[in-house]
Amino acid sequence: MSSRRDFLLKMSLLGLAAGGPGRLVTPAQAAGAKPAGALRLAHLTDIHIDDNPVARKGLAHCLRAAREAGATAILNTGDSFRKLDGSTLAQVQPMWRAWTEVTRDCPLPIHSCLGNHDLWTPPQADAASHAGHPGLGQGGRTEAMRVLGMPAAWHAVRVGGWRFLMCDSISGEKRYAFGAEQLAWIERELAGLGEGEHAALCCHVPIQSPGAWMWMVNRSAPEKWTFPYGDLQRDLREVTDLLRRFPRARAVLSGHIHYVDAVDYLGVRHLNSGAVSGNWWKGDGVLDRDFPPAFAIVDFHPDGRVERQMVTYAL
């Protein structure tokens, strides 16, 4: 890391730690604040790994920091790879390989869902030469799911007294949505919660997020503001109605916009946890002045409470 980049990143982190837009703690500080009886997981999102040494080293340090902070498992809410959409096989293979090599020695289980950049589609001009490649199966999901160790595009994971629904934000007919089949599956999972069991949804695209609106506000004039179709799920009303019916559905963890925010809406905590890659591993790593590379430590309590700390790590 250059001295200038190191200086800028340190200044940003100092500002956040002093009570700026979103306070960051170190892994050691997070570990020291672990509450008794809570299930502690790390929430990583928007890793965007490729064969770049900065990205490789950054993810390795992040995984180490998650362990040091006391996490017992990792929830990864998508965009694990730099950009599989619109890329040739020669371009995507190093991304798959980088993920496998960096995560190989991670002692924590990693539970993943898919992001929009995790679906492989070759460039239109090269589509014919890629026809029939098995990695293009399931709408470009097949190889990403294999590399990430996913049993299905959407699936449930039980950890302690919690059930985590690892959802697919790109499965609906419109961008972005769960679609009728997945919504029915979510309903069945929530209806089947056991005695004392709580649930959280994990998805790439947010359901509720002021950050999605601020991304638009930061990039366009007021007269051009509209619904942020590319940064919120279009079926947020249907999902909200569904969550309302199941009071033990306590949280939604998401990513996509690389911003950090938290919304308490109708008894559900919506936590958008920035990006491990910050500003796509570019420059000083800080996106829109306020969001450096970071991840979340989330404590899931037996009574259904959900608490989050945003954690910085050395690049």
Domain positions in the chain: 3-311
* Residue 1 binned pLDDT confidence (cut-offs 50, 70, 90): very low
Q: Is the pLDDT of residue 295 over 70?
A: yes
133-179 per-position pLDDT tens digit: 988 999 999 999 999 999 999 999 999 999 999 999 999 877 899 99
Residue 281 phi, psi (nearest 5): 65, 20
Q: Which of 125-129, 178-182, 283-287 has the lowest mean pLDDT?
A: 125-129
Q: Of the candidates 300, 310, 206, 192, which has an alpha carbon nearest to the alpha carbon of residue 252? A: 206
* Residue 259 binned pLDDT confidence (cut-offs 50, 70, 90): very high
Q: Which of 123-127, 227-231, 293-297 has the lowest mean pLDDT?
A: 123-127
* Contact present, 144 and 80 (Cβ < 8 Å): yes
35-61 per-position pLDDT tens digit: 999 999 999 999 999 999 999 999 999
3-311, which class in CATH?
Answer: alpha beta
Alpha helices in the chain (DSSP H): 3-17, 27-32, 53-68, 89-103, 127-130, 137-140, 142-148, 180-191, 210-217, 236-244
**How far is residue 53's CA from residue 58's CA, in Å, rounded to a whole number?**
8
Q: Mean per-residue pLDDT for 179-202?
A: 97
Single-letter amino acid, residue 304: G
Contacting residues for 189 by C-beta, under 8 A, at least 6 apart? 156, 163, 165, 199
**How far is residue 290's CA from residue 22's CA, in Å, rounded to a whole number?**
8
* Residue 125 binned pLDDT confidence (cut-offs 50, 70, 90): confident
Q: Mean per-residue pLDDT for 118-147?
A: 90
The pLDDT of residue 22 is 57
DSSP per-residue letters across 266-290: TTEEEEEE--TTTTTT-TTS-BTTT
Q: Is the pLDDT of residue 62 over 60?
A: yes
* Residue 21 binned pLDDT confidence (cut-offs 50, 70, 90): very low
CB atoms within 10 A of CB 124: 8
Residue position matching structure tokens 């890793």: 47
* Contact present, 149 and 108 (Cβ < 8 Å): no
The pLDDT of residue 8 is 37
